[in-house]
């Protein structure tokens, strides 16, 4: 079985979309501990930290480790004009950002940290972690020009406050995206092509297409 170290419903839906049988373990990692200003390095470090935090929780659970084959930690953020835009904290911040983003483009970065769990081991100290892969996939997103009414209506919805950058491409936010350059699923939260490539590299292709 595959472990997803994320509470994101969007990421879970992506795995369901490809019929990847998985267990969700929320890492509960405190992101305020990491103050890295570089967006690409930040998502890379956060993905790794969340993966290891979830692994630690997994080893303390009731289920034996030998039932799991791989674990994925992810983190996403939106980079706009050199600034990191994570989830907006309130309506004022969300509207201010969208007024700047209207008619312009930015980059959605998702960090991935995938580890292969050694099925023959039973605890975290003896797990072989020589099989791991980390990477950041970036997708350029161009927005249409939004009216103040558009921004206000979106700001009154719960959706943008749960998403990096303040929008969900698979939700109402898709109305505002003119085009993307890069991986679509990466914007949702996991680059599925990246995941497939690395599962195959680890010899875990049997996890895919398992219907």
For the chain, how far is it from start to end, CA to CA, in angstroms? 13
Alpha-carbon distance of 23 to 61, in angstroms, equals 12
Active site residue 75: yes
Alpha-carbon distance of 97 to 69, in angstroms, equals 41
Pick from 144, 71, 141: which is nearest to 109 by CA?
A: 141
Instruction: Confirm if 78 and 85 have CB atoms less than 8 A apart.
Output: yes
Q: Exactly one of 62, 75, 90, 118 is catalytic; name it.
A: 75
Pick from 114, 78, 72, 70: which is nearest to 97 by CA?
A: 78
Alpha-carbon distance of 119 to 50, in angstroms, equals 21
Query: For residue 61, how far is the Cα from the chain centroid?
Result: 24
Read off the tokens for 47: 């993905």
Element (H, E) at 124: none
- Catalytic residue numbers read 75
């Amino acid at each position: 079985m595959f472990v997803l170290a994320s509470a994101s419903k969007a990421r879970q839906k992506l795995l369901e979309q490809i019929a990847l049988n998985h267990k969700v373990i929320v890492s509960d990692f405190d992101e305020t501990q990491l103050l890295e200003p570089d967006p690409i390095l930040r998502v890379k470090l956060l993905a790794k930290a969340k993966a290891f935090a979830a692994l630690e929780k997994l080893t303390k659970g009731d289920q034996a480790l030998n039932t799991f084959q791989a674990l994925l930690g992810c983190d996403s953020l939106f980079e706009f004009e050199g600034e990191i835009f994570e989830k907006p904290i309130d309506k004022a911040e969300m509207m201010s950002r969208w007024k700047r983003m209207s008619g312009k483009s930015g980059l959605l970065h998702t960090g991935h940290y995938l580890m292969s769990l050694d099925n023959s081991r039973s605890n975290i100290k003896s797990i072989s972690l020589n099989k791991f892969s980390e990477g950041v996939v970036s997708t350029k997103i161009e927005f249409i020009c939004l009216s103040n009414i558009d921004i206000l209506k979106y700001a009154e919805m719960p959706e943008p406050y749960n998403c990096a950058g303040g929008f969900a491409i698979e939700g109402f936010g898709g109305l505002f995206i003119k085009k993307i350059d890069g991986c679509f699923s990466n914007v949702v939260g996991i680059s599925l092509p990246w995941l497939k490539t690395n599962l195959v590299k680890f010899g875990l292709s049997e996890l895919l297409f398992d219907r």
